[in-house]
A and B are shown apart, each in its own frame.
Chain A
């Protein structure tokens, strides 16, 4: 979503027509037929039947995007061809909400967390909506920061509508980003990083993507309700994958005094004085742990096996 300051006069006739449509359709619970709508909304007046139909269909989509759903129903049991259209006001509009002054502080702190995020405009809309139902927002009290790098609104609305997401994703080291077609199940925040998880249509498998590695924009395509989200997802297991034991590599390390806390913990050592030590342990995530061993030099030195030692030396040499 863009800033209010970017609101352009745009096609005023279109906005006027949309406002009139909302206003009209929420006036009577019985709703209106297409013919009535065409007559009552001045901006439709004069359109040919076919042009009106197209315009009306587009307007329905626009209104839905703004949160207003137009319901179509058959009012007359005997007249199978006559449909009426209406907006259920109480369903579309936010009910009155009351909060204590402490609760208003809670709300404000929650909303202001998004200040530095690409979704700061959405957070501001929330604030304006709350103020329009009588909530007074206050100054920030708790220092909470949510700083996603990617605009989440497209992702979340696609997931809500169960629509296919398309995006380009760059795996570490790939020369070019690769196009993904994805059925999103949800967004998760773990250890300070944002992830999108769901079903990869092309690979026909469950995947987790780091949102910081998505390049360019998301696009949303196809039908609503194009897929189902499984009821029970073990999110912890999905986002904290365990390596198979056969992939683990046993290493022998020399650790200087006071150094290598990460490795001491993994070797199950509980020496509070952190004495100089030689220890053996298994690398369960070699792809990230071997670079880490290189970064921990000179405090930590790989003694065995030679293959790991050589990889570490290569990484350090590369850095010079």
Chain B
């Protein structure tokens, strides 16, 4: 963002918050106090003449800021296309998550969307498109109902990484939306641990009459191993299936990331799918487990 854009937000914000301290204003805009003061100084010397009404009238009283005359710039400029996209796609996401719909009410989400749309100069061309992984609406409704009534669920769940279907009793904790995919965090009574389920992979679902036990009150994500994974540069797209933080390390045409992996079997599957163009490098123990799974896969063909 240019400094101009920044000042065009700062000025009306200060006007709307008379008497705000330099400290609070700086914190609000994630600036140092010195930077904020530099902004105020710049605004103070701006203006087109010598007389009142021709210059910004900004006063500091005991470290508090008062904008007495912002020369007509008393509101920020309209949303640009990215800012509009942030709002509209965020609102569209809320509508995809039944838990959010029941929390806020669909009418309120839509009325916010209408109000925002009414002040846009053009509508950004961005949105969700249905694909093969869109969850079944009836399943979503049942998940939401169980969450609302604090009831356990019995689900038939297809675990994609192990390729098996298991019946589980779970105590739902919360749903969230990850780039449009609905994830249910729940206490799994079969594994006596917290698990995250993709709602799209729930094959059957039934609401049970049992209440949520005390153990299922505060969610902690499943532990993961940190595995170094390597690909050649032309195969960078293979990394898309992994979750990692930080930068990709590049060396001699090789790319390396440290990926968070829950199960060796899952990584073995991805490595086979890539025909070995993706490799697990370390830690050794995890790599050995991955290889055991790959050998089992080969054994059925030999």
Which A residues form the contact surface with B (CB < 8 A)?
A: 1-5, 7-10, 12, 15-16, 18-20, 22-24, 26-27, 40-42, 62-63, 65-68, 89, 91-97, 99-100, 102-103, 105-107, 109-111, 113-114, 119, 121-126, 128-129, 131-134, 141-148, 152-153, 156-157, 159-160, 170, 172-176, 184-194, 210, 212-213, 215, 229, 235-236, 239-240, 258-262, 274, 291-292, 294-301, 309, 312-320
Bound form: Cα–Cα A68–B127 in Å: 26
Residues of chain A within 8 A (CB-CB) of B192 are: none
B264 to chain A: closest CB distance in Å? 13
Residues of chain B within 8 A (CB-CB) of A16 are: 42, 45-46
A185 touches B301 (CB 8 A): no
Residues of chain B within 8 A (CB-CB) of A317 are: 276, 298
Which of chain A's residues has its CB closest to B115's CB? A97
- A146 and B90 in contact (CB under 8 A), knowing A92-B78, A189-B127? yes
A122 touches B132 (CB 8 A): no
A102 touches B82 (CB 8 A): no
Residues of chain A within 8 A (CB-CB) of B5 are: 65-67, 125
A-B pairs, 8 with minimum CB distance: A110-B90, A318-B276, A186-B125, A143-B176, A67-B77, A142-B100, A153-B82, A191-B131
Bound form: Cα–Cα A179–B199 in Å: 38
Bound form: Cα–Cα A132–B83 in Å: 15
B4 to chain A: closest CB distance in Å? 5
Bound form: Cα–Cα A110–B132 in Å: 25
A15 touches B4 (CB 8 A): yes
Residues of chain B within 8 A (CB-CB) of A129 are: 9, 76-77, 79, 83
A190 touches B112 (CB 8 A): no
A279 to chain B: closest CB distance in Å? 15
B267 to chain A: closest CB distance in Å? 10
Which of chain B's residues has its CB closest to A9's CB? B38
B108 touches A175 (CB 8 A): no
Query: Does B178 lie at the interface of the complex (its beta carbon under 8 Å from any beta carbon of A)?
Result: yes
Residues of chain B within 8 A (CB-CB) of A125 are: 1, 5, 9, 83
Bound form: Cα–Cα A12–B46 in Å: 10
- A128 and B13 in contact (CB under 8 A), knowing A23-B46, A291-B275? yes
Residues of chain A within 8 A (CB-CB) of B82 are: 1, 119, 122, 152-153, 156-157
Interface string of B267-302 (1 = CB under 8 A from A): 011111111110000000000000100111111110
Residues of chain B within 8 A (CB-CB) of A94 are: 75-79, 119
